[in-house]
Structure 1
Amino acid sequence: MRLLEHYQLLYNILPGQEKAHSITIGMLAKSLSCTERNAKLIIHRMQQAGWIVWKPGKGRGNTSSIMLLADLEELILAEAKERSTVSMEEGIYFLHRFSISKHTQRLFVDWLFFASDGGHTKPPDTIDRLQFPSYRPLPKLDPMLVHRRSENHIMRHIFNRLIRYDEKAEKHVPELAHAWSHNHDYTVWIFQLRKRVRFHNEKELVAEDVCYSFLRHQKTCSAYHWILANLEKAEALHPYTVQFTFEKPMPHFLHLATSMGGSIVPSEDHSDAIPIGTGPFQVVENTLTQLRLKTFEHFFGTRPFLDEVNMYFFPELYDNQPSEVVESERVNFYQYPYTSKSTANFQQTTVLDQGSKLLSLNGNKGRLATDTMLRKAIFHLLQPEELIRQLQGNRYLPAGRLLRDTENDASLLRNPALVHELLNASSYQGETFHLYSYTGAGNELDGRWIQQQLSKAGVDVTLHFLPYEELMRQNLDAADMLLGEQLADESRLQTYLSCFQGTHSLPAHHIPDQNRKRIQRMVSDNLSEKEHIQRLQQEEAALCNNHHLLFLYRLEQFAIYPKNVENIQLNALGWVDYTKLWFNPLSVRKEIENE
């Protein structure tokens, strides 16, 4: 056991710094789990380090006096910095071994990424490495298991789909498939695959891999089980030809195929830790402390300009709260909003998030399903402007619909003066409602704010925050309220379908049965994309007007970076596209010349 760990033991049993405590060598040996002889050696070393003041008692077994001088978290921080001079990863791993305050954790992050090079040996100028801290590990980078913003963004760089949706052109374009066709009633879709496409494990992509990638979502535990609701079979007609046959017409199957559920994986390699795709980046390492990506040199498309992307994870680093950060030109990327004394050395790109934070009220079970006055009272009680003002962070703009351009003043207007009258007209008798959400993404703060606002009006709410995977195993159909992020996609139709039908969509659990049945029938109707979106928007309006869906706010998404970073583009998820970003070495040279 290292000296610091011994000091931690003393720190935990002797309350109060710079306060004398009476203790015997025997008591110390017991507390430090060592012999009396070793206890004396440990005390001597702590004295030499200046961590304690020790006054030995006279005679064997007599009481001595000890005073702790050093702040434990300062010692941990200093040791983490020292270890980082050998290896950044070693310093981060060491820090994670201790339960420390958010303040100390942030001091280390600022030092590591902003105020120093962390002792990390500078790579050759030809290696372009993007490295930055993030607030939670991403252990499950498999579309079958998760549908969340951070995971989806990384998975977009690891996997490819048969096709992708071009938002500017408003059409589907080739990716792994170079051509596709369908029969007259859209029950059969055929895709022709590119040749010589390699997975990260060097295996060549063939039709069997595509069949496997889709058919695995037939398991009900899959986050994308919903996209195969009408699938009869998927078969390889040829090594480079795949056919999907459906029980009902699927005129908009292309939109489902562009979802993350359409990501193609090899049929033979199913590693949980290291996902295998065909994308421009491949995973080198994925642990609780870091995620390392490197460019896949055999990528079938245009090679990214970056060579590596490294994310380092620090729990509680971010919860939609503003923070202080040390300014330095050594930072080469930051994805969360920070306030600082000066931003002269930083560029900043922001975009309004296309998605939103959404609270849904159960439309099928419990008091909320039947009491329209109670749902309406809750709607008027929760004022997004106040939530944004009080909680701040990158909560930015009130939301009233899935897509901002479909909102109007009526969808955003809330009148707290109506609450008392509405509650009196409701059947509410003081029972407790249960709100469920997943940890992270600001949900805990948002949930507590909702609880406080409803409590002021006498509506009792109990909060349940669970890890994402655990939440998805709950019977969410029975939850009174569900809170979470509603993600957007480049395809408007896919955004609506994912919200109303997604297996991991929280509001999908609360849509009243009559609305759900209409939406399900709509999927097979021979409607144009525009007509389909209009119909879904009508369903959305009905759900909002009946106060089953309560949209709260949209985020302002950030990219903060030095002047030598070029071509920052934020995607529909509000994250930077790593395939387009590049470092301009001439920018650094000009700054040096101007100094």
Structure 2
Amino acid sequence: MLTDERYLTLLTKYAGTDETAGKEHEVSLEELSEALYCTTRNVKLIIRKLEEDGLIRWNAGRGRGNRSRLSFLVGLDRKLLELSQQSALKGEYKYAFELIRKYGEGTQVRHMFVEWLNDHFGYSSVQANDGNSDILRLPVYRPILTLDPKELYYAFSAHMIKQLFDCLLRYDRDAGKIVPSLAHAWEHDESGKEWTFHLRKGVLFHHGRELVSEDVVYTLNRLRGSSASGWFVRSIVRAEAIGKRTVSIGLAEPNWLFPRFLCSPGLSIVPHDLAEQDERFWHHPVGTGPFRFEEWTADRFTMSANPVYFQGRAHLDGVIIVTMPEDTMEYSKTWEQLLVDHDLRDMKPENGWKKIETICNGCSLLSWNMGKDGPQRSPSFRKAVDLLVDRSRMIRELGEDRMYPARGFHPNDESPFWQDSCDAEPALALLRESGYDGKPIRICTHGIHEHDARWIQRELGKFGIPVEVKIESWDSIREPDVFHSVDLLLYCVVFAEDEVCLIELYEQNGNFLREHLDPGLRAWVKEKIDAALACRSAEDRREQLAIIENKLRDETHILFLVHKKLNTFYNPNIKGVGVNSLGWIDFKDIWLD
């Protein structure tokens, strides 16, 4: 235990938050020994050190029965804040919050510490051995769950993977076309089943080895099976290296969307020599991306610029991602943190700061668990619930980032004009038709959607449908025994790439929507997806995929809720701030004017 923390231990035990500087407390060495869990000899050493540091005044008792007198010279708030700040400056953010949790009950230290962190985060220039380094520190309120493209579910993890790895191809959203990345050229046969990719020369992994075709073949083969990204390669029957820089891929069925698949973070190329030999590889990953892994702890994730990145070195020298307690979001100045967060409340930027507001390409929704017995097995019951949920009123009453009622996965030109309402009379008739007996239904969600779940709970309760709400964490909600045991899941879907991400909802193992579909419907969906992939025209593919979406909506297997807005606030002196398809800023292009 550090001397400063020992001081906090004694201060909270004998004085608490109302300490008056210099007030004396009668104590014995034996009592201090018990409080500090050490011997009386060590207590004497600790007392001497605390005196030397100017933290206490100590008057030792003389003779049998005379107690010593201890005075605390620095108040709890001041010392706890100072110690927390010192810990943060050393990168020990988790330890800082643990100190505040342990010693700061009944104080304002937690709030003051987060206010101080607001100035600690953002863009800064720090002294390094070879001059100044430009560092970006960003707080996040959920941990990085994985850096393995094979196990990719969440947008945050996908964004971090894109910093460390590259794909064969890249989708340029502004130009609306696929452009070269690790592959500088590619071709296909007329069937859409044979594809060939030619790799760039001189692309280096972070450990110094050049990218070769064997890395691509290994990456594709390791995805086979039931992994989260396994659906990308389900139709691949052959992947082989043709020399050092050419890869030939054969598909069982035509797939004219295959180049778009290869732009996805789940198909990021990994070094075969490291990934296949070291099980710990994913705790210290190595890619070809614009940033190199440096450190990953419970507090933070640190990466530095890749000086030989084949698409040009990042302007930043490093990025530090700090994991903050989720309950600090309410009083953090998130506009200063240079990131987009789908869960931000409406916040006003500081004077002179700029705001980017966009509509999230996705929606919140409810998916019915069709693998479980319950009233949701009845189409009439599902339709009744759909009619009872008034999305427009939900938006008016809950506000914040909720923007438009959703009729489908994507917002469109009609979204601002569509108004929803509660249609109670036909809904109640459908409830009677379904034979609903008043059995409670259980909705499961994670913390950021709790307000929506509680609102739905109140609304359905008005019409005799009792709802139980189960709140999980980002991590625990993915446990199969959690999402398979509930009647409804409430969550958001965000589409970084429209067609690819939509197919992912239906095909990805462990994806909530796929796991809740009836097996027969799931097989029908797969047939429709194969038909869509065989379409060379993007318009024809969209028509095939729309058939799936319409069926899910019309038969109320899912209930679309609302489209949301995204707000980014940033300092106009910081250049290159652009929101990417995952709803995050691209670290590589940021620079300070």
Give the TM bin, normalised by the shorter chain. 0.7 to 0.9
**Residue 571 (str. 1) matches residue 572 (str. 2):** no
**Partner amino acid for 1:313?**
T
**Residue 560 (str. 1) matches residue 569 (str. 2):** yes
Aligned to 1:428: 436
Cα distance in structure 1, aligned partners of 2:190 and 2:123: 62
Please show how residues 347-366 of structure 1 align to structure 2 within 5 Å.
347-366=354-373
- Cα drift, residue 458 of structure 1: 3.8
**Partner amino acid for 1:289?**
D
**Residue 501 (str. 1) matches residue 497 (str. 2):** no
**Residue 109 (str. 1) matches residue 111 (str. 2):** no
TM-score for the superposition, normalised by structure 2: 0.82
Cα distance in structure 2, aligned partners of 1:105 and 1:237: 59
- Cα drift, residue 111 of structure 1: 1.3
Aligned to 1:587: none
Match of 1:32 among 36, 45, 49: 36
**Partner amino acid for 1:5?**
E
Helix, strand or coil for the counterpart of 2:274?
coil
Cα distance in structure 1, aligned partners of 2:311 and 2:224: 30
Match of 1:269 among 253, 259, 274: 274
**Residue 305 (str. 1) matches residue 330 (str. 2):** no
Helix, strand or coil for the counterpart of 1:293?
strand
Cα distance in structure 2, aligned partners of 1:318 and 1:378: 35
Tell which deviates more after alignment, 513-522 or 58-67.
Answer: 58-67
RMSD: 4.0
CA contact (8 A) 2:340 2:583 kept: no
Aligned to 2:82: 78
Please show how residues 182-331 of structure 1 align to structure 2 within 5 Å.
182-220=188-226, 222-270=227-275, 271-316=281-326, 323=331, 325=333
- Cα drift, residue 211 of structure 1: 1.0
CA contact (8 A) 1:109 1:133 kept: no
TM-score for the superposition, normalised by structure 1: 0.82
The alpha-carbon distance between structure 1 residues 226 and 351, as it changes in their structure 2 partners (threshold 3 A), is same
Helix, strand or coil for the counterpart of 1:345?
coil
Cα distance in structure 1, aligned partners of 2:189 and 2:587: 38
The alpha-carbon distance between structure 1 residues 42 and 239, as it changes in their structure 2 partners (threshold 3 A), is closer
- Cα drift, residue 178 of structure 1: 2.0
- Cα drift, residue 17 of structure 1: 4.5
Helix, strand or coil for the counterpart of 2:228?
coil
- Cα drift, residue 342 of structure 1: 6.7
The alpha-carbon distance between structure 1 residues 35 and 385, as it changes in their structure 2 partners (threshold 3 A), is farther
Helix, strand or coil for the counterpart of 1:97?
helix
Helix, strand or coil for the counterpart of 1:575?
coil
Helix, strand or coil for the counterpart of 1:524?
helix
**Residue 483 (str. 1) matches residue 483 (str. 2):** no
The alpha-carbon distance between structure 1 residues 42 and 278, as it changes in their structure 2 partners (threshold 3 A), is closer
Match of 2:420 among 407, 413, 420: 413
Cα distance in structure 1, aligned partners of 2:514 and 2:334: 43
Helix, strand or coil for the counterpart of 1:144?
helix
Identity of aligned residues (%): 28
Cα distance in structure 2, aligned partners of 1:131 and 1:550: 38
Tell which deviates more after alignment, 342-351 or 55-64.
Answer: 55-64
Cα distance in structure 2, aligned partners of 1:45 and 1:310: 35
Aligned to 2:548: 539
Cα distance in structure 1, aligned partners of 2:328 and 2:494: 19
The alpha-carbon distance between structure 1 residues 308 and 5, as it changes in their structure 2 partners (threshold 3 A), is closer
CA contact (8 A) 2:411 2:563 kept: no
Q: Deviations over 1:163-206 (max 9, x none)?
A: 12233433322211122222333232221212221111111111
Aligned to 1:590: none
Aligned to 1:5: 5
Aligned to 1:548: 557
Count of aligned residue pairs for this structure pair:
572
**Residue 167 (str. 1) matches residue 173 (str. 2):** yes
Aligned to 1:593: none
Aligned to 2:139: 133
CA contact (8 A) 1:400 1:412 kept: no
- Cα drift, residue 317 of structure 1: 5.2
- Cα drift, residue 68 of structure 1: 9.4
- Cα drift, residue 286 of structure 1: 2.1
CA contact (8 A) 1:128 1:306 kept: yes
**Residue 465 (str. 1) matches residue 472 (str. 2):** yes
Gapped regions of structure 1 (runs ≥ 5)? 585-595
